[in-house]
Chains A and B, each alone.
Chain A
Amino acid sequence: MGTPASSDAAPDRVRSVSVRGITARISVREGVGPFVNEPPLLLCNGIGVSFEVLQPLVDALDPRRGVVRFDVPGVGGSALPPTPYPIAALASWVTRLMAGLGHQRFDVLGLSWGGGLAQQLAVQHRRRVRRVVLVATGTGALMVPAHPSVLLKMSTPRRHRDPEYAARIAGDIYGGTMRTDPAKGARLLHSVTRSGPRRGYYYQLGAMAGWTSLPFLRLLRQPTLVMGGTDDPIIPVANPRLQARLIPHARLHLYEGGHLDIVTEAERLVPVVEQFLLGLRPYIEPDGKAPA
């Protein structure tokens, strides 16, 4: 946050909008130049963190590309919804949010928990979603699960609230660069993020309970890029492989790294996303090697 992007980018505008009675904090960067009439990229965040966490990812994207970020209801700066919600309701709400911003069509990138939302958006609003990028995400209840100790740590928002705890466990649950520099994870989750009420986190967990994309992945029609880290304790690498096999127009990109590398190693990984969104043929490394 705070570093002005290169001069040809439109500024990020943070504001609050109300969609179906729920006030959400969003950040919109308008597309400029060749991206003026292109669908923007909607970023769906991981669980329990506000959109500031995605800043390195946004900075690594083409500065002229339109980008929309939002805090999930009950998280960060968005209001807590009155009741728990299913993921389908959230997908419908997000589509309404995008329509309100004047975007009938958009690309979506989902990271971790947000990847579930992205899959739901893709199948539920097939005409609205043009391209899909799934990063470090699984197929919901029916997937190759993480180690139970990882799941236990994921079941509470404590790592977002207690920086010492976050530094202690970051390597174990996020893998990749977090193993060598756990303080980086703690900083990432603690300093920039806005934390909402604890109930918001549990609503988010609950939204995914019992949900799985496994039955409908074959129905996806959008070009899809599936990315996964080979050292990701939360999402074992079998998951992205499975997704890429089931989704008809999928490309798989495996990289050496952990759960949050799309953020911590954005300069290295985001160009893959960028090439895919431009419709260019990405380099596919079936062996999981990063491009030279």
Chain B
Amino acid sequence: MTATRTEPARRADDRIAEARSRDEPGASELSTPLDLLLSEAGRGPLRRFLPGMSGVRLAAGLARRPGAVAGRAAGLAAELARVQVGRSEVGPHPKDRRFADEAWAKNPFLKRTLQSYLATGQALRGLVADANLGYGDSQRMGFIVDNVVEALSPTNSPALNPKVLKRTIDTGGGNLLAGGRRFVKDFATSPRVPSMVEPDAFSVGEDVAVTPGDVVLRTDVFELIQYTPQTTKVRSVPLLIVPPTINKYYVIDLAEQRSLVEHLVQAGQQVYCISWRNPDARHADWGLDTYGQSILEAMTAAQDISRQEQVALLGICSGGMIASMVMAHLAATGDLGRVAAFSLAVTVLDQHQAGLPSALLSHKGAAASTRASREKGYLDGRALAEIFAWLRPNDLIWNYWVNNYLMGHAPKAFDILYWNADPVRMTAAMHRDFMDLAVRNALVEPDAATMLGSPVDLGKVDVDSYVVAGIADHLCQWESCYRTTQLLGGDSRFVLSTSGHIAAMVNPPSNEKASFQTRDTNPPGAAEWLAGATKVRGSWWSDYVDWLAERSGPERNRPRRTGSAAYEPVCAAPGTYVHDR
């Protein structure tokens, strides 16, 4: 692998190494959550719990303020004393499902346990606030303290959780036996986190990824699915979807009625979707250019099959990053006329201060991580899954710890979690390229990055764009997604959906609670934008369909078959690559 590294690859390595030498406090904010995940996953899960220099600075910060520390200690002691005599007012957040059982309020022993736990946790979190750390350090220490506090919750202990105690009596200990078996099975292979869904809960192609279509092109890197039209008339310009490269594409084609693809097909769009191959060590050299080239190949195929001069592009998460760079490449080569409309979903292009995870990334970490993946040839998606789970331990670890191991229940069948447990590897070259972009925040600065030999200047991309983000997205903060509207050269419509990273994507109109915010102008700041935005009931899917319809040409009769003489269908959707574990 090393022998075949190209010149740009070597330059990227050099840049990362150079950035590492400039690593200093404050510089760590230059990264995206995604990149943190990529960085951490290359190095193993324990690393992120080591406070490192942030811990030293925390200690130093506290040492400078002995009064505050003493105050915290005294306050905690007084609170614990009140707990002992039963006069404490401390209680869990009413929405905290962990303590929903009434035994926590009624049983005096459990009530005191709970209150002591809450008071101690508060004091610990307060200490981090007292230390007056910088942005990066306070995020990092807050993360570690939160993790420790959440791990110590009495609900996680079989001897203290009343729900578990009751079940142990009911089943004569059978729950702990079954839970032990689950524990051994989960922790024998990575990802070493509680499984959130049974491996046979769903079956790809049977009850998820079921929208009918055909694979019309298969290359080493991807399969191109053409979905079968379900309306008599279709829009003439086809839509090509570029899914993320770190998970399977079927997040946009989950069960029926929950599938964005199905929604678009039924709205009269001709939909094409890329299904990336799950690469392994042999494909270590596939970098950003390989994937960018693949998008161009898919565009050409969609154009040829539908006999159109144009396509509409929709990029999602990391797929959106690559698609944006391809757009810049097209602009640089005078080919931007090929794209009728450009859309980005939950994609971060500007990576400045992109939230908690970004604060945890250091240049040193980036360098170590790319080195690790280069030795292996790829970055394992399962390692990413571990990192992601530990970013939200209450929801993704301890919840299942109690359900799977203490209660002995099988996790519930939920299609999104099944998808989440089906990750894709990332090639070493791609990993390096992404880290390189992140460390330099290179997409913001014109001509700082290249795609297929062209300098990337997003300002020259003057196609109309549709940018959607989720308000509770932990991975790609919506404020960061919003900055895309300031980077692209054309008219942007920014839409802020409810929910987080995935649920914002999977937001069918059947969801009664669905709503989104939007506004006609895009002021420079995200907060300013939000202040003037109006709330619309319903899913952004419908809004998107309307926006797309205006830009995807006149209606015509639907094609009689999928593919063409030059692109004979290879096999039925969802194809073969989606099944590679």
Report A's interface with B, CB cutoff 8 A.
1-2, 4, 11-19, 21-23, 25, 76-83, 161-163, 190-191, 194-196
User: Inside 8 A of A17's CB, which chain B residues have their CB?
Assistant: 200, 203
Residue of A nearest to B187 (CB): A82
User: Inside 8 A of B580's CB, which chain A residues have their CB?
Assistant: 25, 76-77, 194
Q: Assuming A14-B571, A79-B199, A83-B188, is B579 touching A25 (CB within 8 A)?
A: yes
Q: Assuming A21-B185, A77-B581, A82-B188, is B203 touching A4 (CB within 8 A)?
A: no
User: Inside 8 A of A80's CB, which chain B residues have their CB?
Assistant: 189
Contact A18 B206 (CB under 8 A): no
Residue of B nearest to A163 (CB): B282
| Among candidates A2, A12, A15, A190, residue contacting B206 with C-beta atoms closer than 8 Å | A15
Q: Give A40 Cβ to nearest chain B Cβ, in Å.
A: 19
User: Inside 8 A of A83's CB, which chain B residues have their CB?
Assistant: 188
User: Inside 8 A of B189's CB, which chain A residues have their CB?
Assistant: 80-82
User: Inside 8 A of B502's CB, which chain A residues have their CB?
Assistant: none
Report B's interface with A, CB cutoff 8 A.
184-185, 188-189, 198-200, 203-206, 218, 220, 278, 280-282, 568, 570-572, 575-576, 579-581
User: Inside 8 A of B281's CB, which chain A residues have their CB?
Assistant: 161, 195
Q: Give A39 Cβ to nearest chain B Cβ, in Å.
A: 24
| Among candidates A4, A81, A194, residue contacting B280 with C-beta atoms closer than 8 Å | A194
Q: Assuming A11-B571, A80-B189, A82-B185, is B282 touching A18 (CB within 8 A)?
A: no
Contact A11 B200 (CB under 8 A): no
Instruction: With a 10 A CB-CB cut-off, give which of A16, A79, A80, A83 has the most chain B CB atoms.
Output: A16
Contact A15 B203 (CB under 8 A): yes
Q: Give B284 Cβ to nearest chain A Cβ, in Å.
A: 10
Q: Which 7 A-B pairs have the closest CB atoms?
A: A18-B200, A82-B188, A77-B580, A14-B576, A25-B579, A18-B199, A16-B579
Contact A195 B206 (CB under 8 A): no
Contact A12 B571 (CB under 8 A): yes
Cα(A11)–Cα(B215), bound, Å: 13
Question: A-side binding surface: helix, strand, loop or mixed?
Answer: loop
Q: Assuming A23-B581, A76-B580, is B572 touching A13 (CB within 8 A)?
A: yes
Given contacts A15-B206, A76-B580, A194-B280, 12 further A-B contacts (CB under 8 A): A1-B218, A2-B218, A11-B572, A14-B576, A15-B205, A18-B200, A21-B198, A23-B581, A79-B581, A82-B184, A162-B282, A163-B282
User: Inside 8 A of A196's CB, which chain B residues have their CB?
Assistant: 280, 581
Q: Assuming A21-B185, A21-B199, A82-B188, is B571 touching A190 (CB within 8 A)?
A: no
Residue of B nearest to A21 (CB): B199
Residue of B nearest to A2 (CB): B570
Q: Assuming A82-B185, A195-B280, is B572 touching A21 (CB within 8 A)?
A: no
17 contacts between A and B (CB under 8 A): A1-B218, A2-B570, A11-B572, A14-B571, A16-B581, A17-B200, A19-B200, A23-B199, A23-B200, A77-B581, A79-B199, A80-B189, A81-B189, A82-B189, A161-B280, A163-B282, A191-B220
Q: Give A277 Cβ to nearest chain B Cβ, in Å.
A: 25
Q: Give A55 Cβ to nearest chain B Cβ, in Å.
A: 11
Cα(A195)–Cα(B581), bound, Å: 10
| Among candidates A11, A22, A77, A195, residue contacting B579 with C-beta atoms closer than 8 Å | A77
Cα(A14)–Cα(B572), bound, Å: 9
Instruction: With a 10 A CB-CB cut-off, give which of A12, A18, A162 has the most chain B CB atoms.
Output: A18
User: Inside 8 A of A22's CB, which chain B residues have their CB?
Assistant: 199
Contact A16 B185 (CB under 8 A): no
Cα(A17)–Cα(B198), bound, Å: 12
Contact A25 B203 (CB under 8 A): no
Contact A4 B568 (CB under 8 A): yes
Q: Give B418 Cβ to nearest chain A Cβ, in Å.
A: 11
Cα(A2)–Cα(B203), bound, Å: 23
User: Inside 8 A of B581's CB, which chain A residues have their CB?
Assistant: 16, 23, 25, 77-79, 196
Cα(A162)–Cα(B281), bound, Å: 9
Cα(A16)–Cα(B418), bound, Å: 13
User: Inside 8 A of A23's CB, which chain B residues have their CB?
Assistant: 199-200, 581
Residue of B nearest to A13 (CB): B572
Instruction: With a 10 A CB-CB cut-off, give which of B185, B204, B580 has the most chain A CB atoms.
Output: B580
User: Inside 8 A of A76's CB, which chain B residues have their CB?
Assistant: 580
Residue of B nearest to A27 (CB): B576
